[in-house]
């Protein structure tokens, strides 16, 4: 079986006939291209963070405080990037994190479907957002043989919450990820400066407008009055009163693996596992929700230690293959990316997302090869050294 890093040789061979890659090869070039391609309001929403974005930037910088320790003569001719997760095997440790405006990062408004198709083509699972431009059933229908997860923003209407979870299970999603750090909206100066919030304009609400429980709340069908539906959505989105006592109810809604996203404190992680939660998702929402906190990577080792063998998914600040390797070595079971693939979508649709994933997988693979770590699932803290600030 070919190594993911072998993809680079095709690029070099194409170069002999004057052909260069159609998309950028680095994150910073990708971001510049995406900014040029996206409308200002969408770029602000995707690229921006909370407050002065210190936490967003700290998430990225945290990876620089760790270095991979090279090991020689480790027999890394063939690398195995596969991981085990919830009793199954995935070909790589990568996942596509949920993004609430993914649908409109595509000029034609079907970014969720393009991401699902890229997921099917690459074997990298997608975590589909509640806030999608196409209904969850249509998105799930594009996954093929690649598993997909559904991310739930818990509404303050319990009947609607149950409907979403039941629909996700019936649609074929293989896990439900409950996001806990967006029970109310964070302070986002970039969006405030533009007075722009896409969902209030009716974007990315397809899971609501296609739901019978939500539709029953509307005086007029959303096909006739989308702005009115957006107003009703604003009244049900988020549940600031959600607490530990609600976990039993959430757990009872589905037999699928249930994960909690936004867990960063080890005590919270232990309490979640004690409550019957199947997995932890360590994340600071990419720095989009609360400013002034710790980088997610700093929290990861304590969360992993607290939960033992329970899977821990990680995101926030991942920009490169070595970032993924470092997160795995610090105990993550799988690593999700957000902004990089959203930018790939904006500049190249499905092909742009696949390009970003190929770049990341090649760099993960080559980092492991050159530094002497043949198997992703065997990465541990021994592979890293602390560099410091």
103 pLDDT above the threshold of 60: yes
Q: What are the catalytic residues? A: 285
Which residue, among 275, 288, 271, has the nearest Cα to 44 in the 3D structure?
A: 288
Q: What is the pLDDT of residues 233-282, one digit of tens each?
A: 999 999 999 999 999 999 999 999 999 999 999 999 999 999 999 999 99
Task: Give the chain's mean pLDDT.
Answer: 97
Task: Kindly state the percentage of the chain with pLDDT values over 70.
Answer: 99
Which residue, among 127, 131, 182, 130, has the nearest Cα to 152 in the 3D structure?
A: 130
Predicted local distance difference test score (pLDDT) of residue 1: 57
178 pLDDT above the threshold of 80: yes
Q: What is the pLDDT of residues 28-75, one digit of tens each?
A: 999 999 999 999 999 999 999 999 999 999 999 999 999 999 999 998
pLDDT bracket for residue 153 (50, 70, 90): very high
pLDDT bracket for residue 321 (50, 70, 90): very high
Tell me what the mean pLDDT of segment 20-26 comes to: 97
Tell me what the mean pLDDT of segment 110-115 comes to: 98
Which DSSP category does 26 fall into? S
pTM passes above 0.85: yes
Q: Identify the residue whose tokens are 């988020």.
A: 238
pLDDT bracket for residue 76 (50, 70, 90): confident
pLDDT bracket for residue 187 (50, 70, 90): very high
Predicted local distance difference test score (pLDDT) of residue 2: 84
381 pLDDT above the threshold of 60: yes
- Torsion sign (Cα): 147, 179, 352, 316: negative
Helix, strand, or coil here: 163?
helix
Task: Kindly state the percentage of the chain with pLDDT values over 90.
Answer: 98
Residues 6+ apart with CB under 8 A from 40: 194
Residues 6+ apart with CB under 8 A from 200: 230, 234
Looking from the CA of 26 toward its CB, the CA atoms found within 13 Å total 3
């Amino acid at each position: 079986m070919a190594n993911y890093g072998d993809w680079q040789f095709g690029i070099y061979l194409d170069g002999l006939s004057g052909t260069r890659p159609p998309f950028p090869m680095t994150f910073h070039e990708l971001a510049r291209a995406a900014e040029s391609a996206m409308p200002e309001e969408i770029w602000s929403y995707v690229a921006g963070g909370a407050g002065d974005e210190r936490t967003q930037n700290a998430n990225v910088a945290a990876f620089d405080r760790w270095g991979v320790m090279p090991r020689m003569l480790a027999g890394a001719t063939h690398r195995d990037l596969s991981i085990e997760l919830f009793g199954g095997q995935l070909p790589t440790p990568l996942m596509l994190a949920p993004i609430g405006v993914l649908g409109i990062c595509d000029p034609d408004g079907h970014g969720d479907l393009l991401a699902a198709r890229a997921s099917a083509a690459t074997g990298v699972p997608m975590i589909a957002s509640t806030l999608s431009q196409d209904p969850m059933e249509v998105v799930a229908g594009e996954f093929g043989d690649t598993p997909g997860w559904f991310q739930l923003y818990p509404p303050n209407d319990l009947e609607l919450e149950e409907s979403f979870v039941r629909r996700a299970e019936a649609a074929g999603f293989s896990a439900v990820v409950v996001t806990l750090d967006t029970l109310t909206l964070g302070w986002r100066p970039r969006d405030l400066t533009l007075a722009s919030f896409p969902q209030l304009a009716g974007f990315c609400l397809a899971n609501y407008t296609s739901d019978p429980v939500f539709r029953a709340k509307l005086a007029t069908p959303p096909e006739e009055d989308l702005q009115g539906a957006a107003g009703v959505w604003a009244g049900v989105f988020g549940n600031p009163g959600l607490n530990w006592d609600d976990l039993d109810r959430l757990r009872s809604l589905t037999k699928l693996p249930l994960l909690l996203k936004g867990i960063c404190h080890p005590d919270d992680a232990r309490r979640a596992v004690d409550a019957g939660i199947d997995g932890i998702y360590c994340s600071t929402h990419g720095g989009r929700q609360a400013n002034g906190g710790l980088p997610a990577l700093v929290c990861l080792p304590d969360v992993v230690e607290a939960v033992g063998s329970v899977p821990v998914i990680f995101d926030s600040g991942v920009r490169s293959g070595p970032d993924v390797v470092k997160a795995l070595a610090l105990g993550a079971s799988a690593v999700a990316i957000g902004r990089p693939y959203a930018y790939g979508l904006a500049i190249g649709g499905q092909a742009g997302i696949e390009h970003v994933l190929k770049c990341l997988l090649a760099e993960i693979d080559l980092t492991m090869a050159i530094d002497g770590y043949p198997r992703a699932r065997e990465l541990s803290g021994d592979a890293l050294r602390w560099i410091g600030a």
